[in-house]
Amino acid sequence: MLPHGCPRPAPGGAVPEPKDLRSRHGVLKLDLSIHDFQEKDGSVRYCYLLPDGTQSPTLRLHPGDLLILHLTDDLTDLDTTVGGARAIYGPATAHAPAMTHGMATMHGPAMEMSMQKAASDPCTRGAMTAVSTNLHFHGLTVPPVCHEDDVLKTSIEPGDPPFEYRFRIPANEPPGLYWYHPHIHGFSEVQVLGGASGALIIEGIERADPTLAGLPERVLVIRDQDLLNPDAPPSKSEPVVPKLFIDRDGDSANNGTGFGRPAKDLSINFVPVPYPDYPPARLTMKPRERELWRVLNASAITYLNLAVLYRGAPQPLGVVAIDGIPIRYGGSPAPAKVRVNHIGLPPGARAEFVVEGPPLGVPGLLVTRTVNTGPGGENDPNRALASIIAASDAPEPQSRLPAHPKPLPPPTLPWLGDVKPVRVRRLYFSEKLQNPNDPTSAVAFYITVDGQTPKPFDPNSPVPNIVVKQGEVEDWIIENRSPELHAFHIHQLHFELVDWSGVPVHEPFLRDTVNVPYYNGRTLEYPSVRLRMDFRDPNTVGTFVYHCHLLDHEDGGMMGIIRVVPADAPPEAHNAEPAGTGADASTGTGAQRSSSDHIAATIPH
DSSP 226-265: --SSTTPPPPTTSPP-PSPPB-TTSPBBP-SSS-S--SSE
Do residues 21 and 58 touch, judged by C-beta distance below 8 A? yes
Q: What average pLDDT score do residues 100-127 get?
A: 58
- Considering 147, 179, 203, which residue would you say is the last residue of a domain? 203
Q: Average pLDDT over the chain, rounded to whole?
A: 90
| Domain contains 408 | no
C-alpha–C-alpha distance, residues 151 and 543, integer Å: 10
**Same domain assignment for residues 135 and 230:** no
Least confident of 94-103, 434-443, 522-531: 94-103
pLDDT at 261 over 80: yes
Q: Specify the DSSP element, H or E, that contains 433.
A: strand 423-433
Residue 352: domain span: 210-400
Least confident of 11-20, 103-112, 562-571: 103-112
Given strand 44-49, what is the order of strands in its sheet?
A: 44-49, 27-38, 66-73, 163-168
Q: Which residues contact 550 (CB under 8 A, 6 or more apart)?
A: 300, 301, 347, 486, 487, 558
- Residue 3's pLDDT band, with cuts at 50, 70 and 90, is low
- Residue 39's pLDDT band, with cuts at 50, 70 and 90, is confident
463 residue type, one letter: V
**Same domain assignment for residues 198 and 214:** no
C-alpha–C-alpha distance, residues 559 and 557, integer Å: 6
CB neighbours (10 Å) of residue 72?
A: 20
Do residues 531 and 494 touch, judged by C-beta distance below 8 A? no
**Same domain assignment for residues 110 and 88:** yes
**Same domain assignment for residues 193 and 243:** no
Number of residues in the chain:
605
C-alpha–C-alpha distance, residues 377 and 87, integer Å: 26
| Domain contains 141 | yes
| Domain contains 152 | yes
**Same domain assignment for residues 247 and 197:** no
- The per-residue DSSP string of 202-219 comes to ES-HHHH-GGGTT-EEEE
Q: What average pLDDT score do residues 325-339 get?
A: 95
Q: Give the residue, 581 or 98, on which the prediction is more confident.
A: 581
pLDDT in tens, 508-519: 999 999 999 999
Do residues 155 and 126 touch, judged by C-beta distance below 8 A? yes
pLDDT in tens, 182-241: 999 999 999 999 999 999 999 999 999 999 999 999 999 999 999 999 999 999 889 999
User: Residue 595 has what pLDDT?
Assistant: 55
Where helices occur in 178-316 by DSSP H, the ranges are 188-193, 205-208
pLDDT in tens, 428-467: 999 999 999 999 999 999 999 999 999 999 988 999 999 9
Half-sphere exposure of 274 (CA within 13 A, CB side): 15
CATH number at residue 536: 2.60.40.420
On the question of a cis peptide bond just before residue 276, with omega within 30 degrees of 0, the verdict is: yes
| Domain contains 5 | no
Query: Whole-model pTM?
Result: 0.92
Nearest alpha-carbon partner for 377 in 302, 429, 305, 430: 302
**Same domain assignment for residues 440 and 307:** no
**Same domain assignment for residues 495 and 420:** yes
Burial class (CB in 10 A: 0-12, 13-18, 19+), 96: exposed
pLDDT in tens, 136-195: 999 999 999 999 999 999 999 999 999 999 999 999 999 999 999 999 999 999 999 999
**Same domain assignment for residues 372 and 233:** yes
| Domain contains 391 | yes
C-alpha–C-alpha distance, residues 73 and 354, integer Å: 38
Q: What average pLDDT score do residues 255-272 get?
A: 97
Least confident of 112-126, 360-374, 511-525, 589-603: 589-603
pLDDT at 105 over 50: no
**Same domain assignment for residues 424 and 394:** no
**Same domain assignment for residues 324 and 423:** no
- Considering 203, 225, 254, which residue would you say is the last residue of a domain? 203
| Domain contains 8 | no
Region for 214 from its dihedrals, namely left if φ exceeds 0, alpha if ψ lies in -120 to 50, beta otherwise = left
| Domain contains 334 | yes
pLDDT in tens, 562-601: 999 999 988 765 667 777 654 444 433 344 555 555 565 4
User: Residue 593 has what pLDDT?
Assistant: 57
- Residue 127's pLDDT band, with cuts at 50, 70 and 90, is very high
pLDDT at 494 over 70: yes
Structural domain count of the chain = 3
Strands 343-345 and 338-340: unpaired
pLDDT at 4 over 60: yes
Do residues 593 and 506 touch, judged by C-beta distance below 8 A? yes
C-alpha–C-alpha distance, residues 44 and 78, integer Å: 8
Nearest alpha-carbon partner for 489 in 601, 373, 376, 324: 324
**Same domain assignment for residues 134 and 227:** no
| Domain contains 215 | yes
Q: Which of 79-83, 116-120, 514-518 has the highest mean pLDDT?
A: 514-518
Burial class (CB in 10 A: 0-12, 13-18, 19+), 115: middle
C-alpha–C-alpha distance, residues 349 and 384, integer Å: 19
Nearest alpha-carbon partner for 485 in 520, 458, 515: 515
pLDDT at 93 over 50: no
User: Residue 192 has what pLDDT?
Assistant: 98
**Same domain assignment for residues 149 and 222:** no
C-alpha–C-alpha distance, residues 601 and 595, integer Å: 10
Do residues 93 and 456 touch, judged by C-beta distance below 8 A? yes
- Considering 368, 400, 432, which residue would you say is the last residue of a domain? 400
CB neighbours (10 Å) of residue 346?
A: 26
pLDDT in tens, 313-323: 999 999 999 99
C-alpha–C-alpha distance, residues 134 and 149, integer Å: 9
